[in-house]
Amino acid sequence: MVKAKNIVKKFGTRYALKGISFEVNERSVVGFLGPNGAGKTTTMRILTGYLTPTDGSAEVAGYDVERNPLQVKARVGYMPESPPIYAEMTVKEFLAFVADIKGIPPKNKRASIEKVIEETAIGDVQNRLIGRLSRGYRQRVGLAQSLIHDPQVLILDEPTAGLDPIQIHEIRELIKKLGQDRTVLLSTHILPEVTQTCTRAIIIHEGSILVEDTLSNLMQTLAGGLRVRLKVKRNPDSLLLKIQEMDEVRLVRCEDDSILVEFQRGKDKREEIADIAVKGNHGLLEFSTQALTLEEVFLKLTTEESL
Amino acid sequence: MRGIWAVFKKETGIYFHSFIFYFFGLVYLFILGLIFSLVFIVYATQLPMRAQMAGGNLPTVNTYILRPVFGDMGFLLILFLPFYTMRLLAEERRHGTLELLFTSPITPAQVVLGKFLASFTLFIAITSIPIFYCFILDYFGDVDWLPILSTYLGIFLLGGSLIALGLFFSSITNNQLIAAVLTLGGYLLFWIIGWMGQSGATATLFRYLSIYEHYEPFTQGLIDTQDVFYYFSLIFLWLFLTYRSLESQGWR
């Protein structure tokens, strides 16, 4: 649905994108993750036809962004980081204008406006001036304008920036719902956003893609190996020594009142460890598998790169 | 066409919501009304004397009232139009709404034409109000309508080219005040350029470029195709430059 091939973007002498390539399939929510200034917004602006790449090409919904910009724009819904709104218009007037410029036929206009008003829950402010709305409502209006022409691809730049926790939760739920029947590409520097809404993640840093995979693969691959945390009632120190003697264990350490064990990549010794704890009468209280958090993956990747 | 109409509707709606539109519209009409009243009073008080000097023939209201008023109307446009056009694209750039327009299936040419036509239409509406002065004078005296119509054609052409120039300067910055100052500078340059050079080819060229030199004949009831062509060329040139300025957005 979205294909980027070796996209380079230069602003003056500075490279904002250094040749990035990726693909996003139909009906998926993909997170575009990276620190501020990584090149997320530039990539999104190229995919929506707002900026022209210095080199490389992009294809959205089967159309080349440079050769068929109008075809692409008719199929993409885009919400920039600051919602593009006219403060002096009412919500309804604004959506009517967006419906016009998105090419919605007059006979479907009213229904399209009512549908997005309902989807984004802005019915109670539809006749108010946008300039008088709260940040959360403005964000929703921004989302509503991106959805009005029922686009195949939805590109959202930092969709929850500046919202309160309840609004963030609501917007994330909406994005998940929208991803069920269309392709959603969202950028963020907030990691829980990706874990809570996306199926895949593309991690970008200083204009290059560091890694692209499903969230579970990403965390498994980068974690180095499976991790378990166990808590025992008696003699944790002797248990720690016993585990250290095991082959295929990469790391064992005490953390608070628990023991953290990391296996070598592809190895799983959970059964043996549980056996040792039970047979050694250590009084096993807890035994859980720990995944490397996305924060850890992200930090690991971006820190390694910048070193 | 659909895109132009959508931008046109939005733009006229925003003008009607904007304080600056009403403020400058009212001040413009007030000053023009004041000039008309003063010229009318002077004309009325000097009428017997002038009639005596002219051997019983009354001086026409066209020559003594309407021509000076409409001549000043042209100059007043130069002072007021920069504030009328400054927001057209600078505001879109500042508020990020240019991104909305350029990620929608409409072309930069449609945006430029929609905006130009919207501000030109409202300009026509405002500048048509003083035509009531002519009706007032026609009630008391005898107004020669042909020069009035030619003057209006001149005002519309002059206004069109000034709006197109203002639209261009509004497209190159996101600061409305800078757009207004640049526009005012451009207007004044085109207004006074005819004064440069005394004689010879340079002076002829400067006079040809002067926006005022081409406006003057319309106030005298003269419609010259050269003047009409000049204003159409200016409108086309500035709209084309605005289009190029917006189109280059993708390379910035």
**Bridge partner residues of A32 (DSSP):** A187, A202
Are A102 and B103 in contact (CB < 8 Å)? Answer: no
State whether residue A93 sits within 8 Å of chain B by CB.
yes
Lowest mean pLDDT among A106-120, A238-252, B48-62, B86-100: B48-62
Q: Is B235 a residue whose pLDDT tops 80?
A: yes
In this complex, how many residue pairs, one in chain A and one in chain B, have their CB atoms less than 8 Å apart? 74
Q: Which residues of A touch B97 (CB under 8 A)?
A: 84-86
* B91, B93, B100, B101: best to mutate for the A interface, most A CBs within 10 A: B100
At A146-193, the pLDDT tens digits run 999 999 999 999 888 777 888 888 888 888 888 888 899 999 877 778
Q: Which residue of chain B has the CA closest to A89?
A: B14
The whole-chain average pLDDT of chain A stands at 86
Are A50 and B250 in contact (CB < 8 Å)? Answer: yes
Residue B115 · residue B89 · CB < 8 Å:
yes
* B10, B104, B174: best to mutate for the A interface, most A CBs within 10 A: B104
Q: What is the ipTM of this complex?
A: 0.83
At A46-96, the pLDDT tens digits run 999 899 999 999 999 889 998 999 999 999 999 998 888 898 899 999 999
3-state secondary structure labels for all residues of chain B:
CHHHHHHHHHHHHHHHHCHHHHHHHHHHHHHHHHHHHHHHHHHHHHHHHHHHHCCCCCCCHHHHHHHHHHHHHHHHHHHHHHHHHCHHHHHHHHHCHHHHHHCCCCCHHHHHHHHHHHHHHHHHHHHHCCHHHHHHHHHHCCCCHHHHHHHHHHHHHHHHHHHHHHHHHHHCCCCHHHHHHHHHHHHHHHHHHHHCCCCHHHHHHHHHHCHHHHHHHHHCCCCCHHHHHHHHHHHHHHHHHHHHHHHHHHHC
Are A84 and B95 in contact (CB < 8 Å)? Answer: yes
At B2-39, the pLDDT tens digits run 889 999 999 999 888 888 888 888 998 899 889 888 88
At B49-101, the pLDDT tens digits run 777 776 666 667 777 777 788 878 888 888 889 999 998 999 998 888 989 99
From A50, A93, A100, residue closest to B99, measured CB to CB:
A50
* B4, B12, B103, B247: best to mutate for the A interface, most A CBs within 10 A: B103
At B138-178, the pLDDT tens digits run 887 777 888 888 989 999 999 999 999 999 999 999 899 99
From A45, A93, A102, residue closest to B105, measured CB to CB:
A102
pLDDT confidence band for A305 (50 / 70 / 90): very low
Q: Which residues of A touch B246 (CB under 8 A)?
A: none
Q: Give the mean model confidence (pLDDT) for residues A253-271.
A: 82
pLDDT in the model for residue A307: 35
State whether residue A101 sits within 8 Å of chain B by CB.
yes
